[in-house]
Amino acid sequence: MIKKIIAAALTLTSLPALANFPYYPIQFPRDEAAHYAAVPYSVQNLSEWWYYNGKLTTQDGRNFGYYISYNYYILTDKKGKKSTIPRFSLQIADIDNQKVYGNTVVYPANQMVASTDTLNFAYSNDVTLQQINGQYVVNAKIKSKDGHVLQVSMQLTPERDPLLVTQNTDQPGLVNMWNNTNSYYYSQTEVNTAGTIQIDDQTYTIDPTQSLSWMDHQWGDFVIVPGATQWIWSSVQLTNGLQINLSNIVDPKTKRPVTTNASIVMLDNSRVYTSTVIITPIMDPNHKHPLKYHFEIPTINLQFDADTYVPDQDVNGISEAISSVTGMWNGQHVNGNACVESIVDYKK
């Protein structure tokens, strides 16, 4: 089954920021840190995450995909009482053996430690995230849903300037969400990756010359409602240096986009923003989520296919499919890797 999603063209500079967050330019290093306090705007319901994905090759030639999400939610009930929900997700895809391991852990609110000055985040001694001298230091140890011990210890170094994701070039870093909400959002699109991953008693050393990660940091006054909120998102890293953040909020009934956005880092490090994107998910009857997507971005004359390295990379409920990319850009063959994230259920 093939379905096509076509986003109509929009004039980006005419789009106002929607609703609850005013626009303040993103500033580093402050905005690397948490946003539940020490911010110039009020927050009713805060969603915030630091997210990493990548395609890894180890020094002994093994191939893995992964994603990690440090996230928390602060929800306010009708009486004004706030509750904090810290969550951590880790998924490792063993590409060579076609196996996927992962889990999401919800921690007690009093275990979360998060600085609002610099990136220094922890749920426990086993799950931490810091930024030290411009480098992300990621450490995590959890059990997978089927009982395997998963451990990562990585040092991730951004190699390019951050991409401020936006739908309005007058307000870079602020994006429209749903139900008249918005969020701040930036990506590190090219992140050198070193360290180790471990599955049970087997440790693999990452080869930084063959491994690359992506990092997202997003925060906003919005709530994700399971079933009511659906999206397709993708990070695309081509070997020629073209890098793309694709964000598409989808109506759960029609499966068509409510908002669509492509924020692009060009080869010369300039930025292009467009909402003219065509996405064709290609379904397989044996799998809940597509194993392949076809993307077209006419604004930059790019089209490509993203084919999952391993089926069913959705052990945490959301498909996070580390995928190979092949396509054409301005008449030239291109290739690379992508992560295609989807919560859209095309079978309903």
Domain ranges of the chain: 5-342
Q: In this predicted structure, which of 44-53, 78-87, 148-157, 338-347 has the lowest mean pLDDT?
A: 338-347
Whole-prediction pTM value?
0.93
- Token pair listed for 332: 């030239």
Q: What is the pLDDT of residue 100?
A: 98
Of 41 and 158, the structure prediction assigns the larger pLDDT to 158
| 191: nearest Cα among 212, 210, 209, 208 | 212
**Torsion (CA) 138, 143, 149, 155 in degrees, nearest 10:** -10
Q: Is residue 166 within 8 Å of 175, Cβ to Cβ?
A: yes
Of 327 and 13, the structure prediction assigns the larger pLDDT to 327
**Torsion (CA) 143, 147, 148, 151 in degrees, nearest 10:** 0
Q: Averaged over 256-278, what is the pLDDT?
A: 90
Q: Is 269 exposed, middle or buried (0-12, 13-18, 19+ CB in 10 A)?
A: exposed
How many C-beta neighbours within 10 Å does residue 88 have?
Answer: 23
Read off φ and ψ for residue 298, nearest 5 degrees: -60, -30
The Cα 94–Cα 312 span in angstroms is 12
Q: In this predicted structure, which of 20-34, 126-140, 245-259 has the lowest mean pLDDT?
A: 245-259
Q: Is residue 93 within 8 Å of 322, Cβ to Cβ?
A: yes
5-342: CATH homologous superfamily?
A: AttH-like domain (2.40.370.10)
* Tens digit of each residue's pLDDT (9 = 90 or more) over 203-231: 999 999 999 999 999 999 888 876 778 89
Q: What is the 8-class DSSP label of residue 95? A: T
Q: What is the pLDDT of residue 12?
A: 33
| 40: nearest Cα among 24, 20, 17 | 24
pLDDT for residue 7 is more than 70: no
Q: What is the pLDDT of residue 348?
A: 63
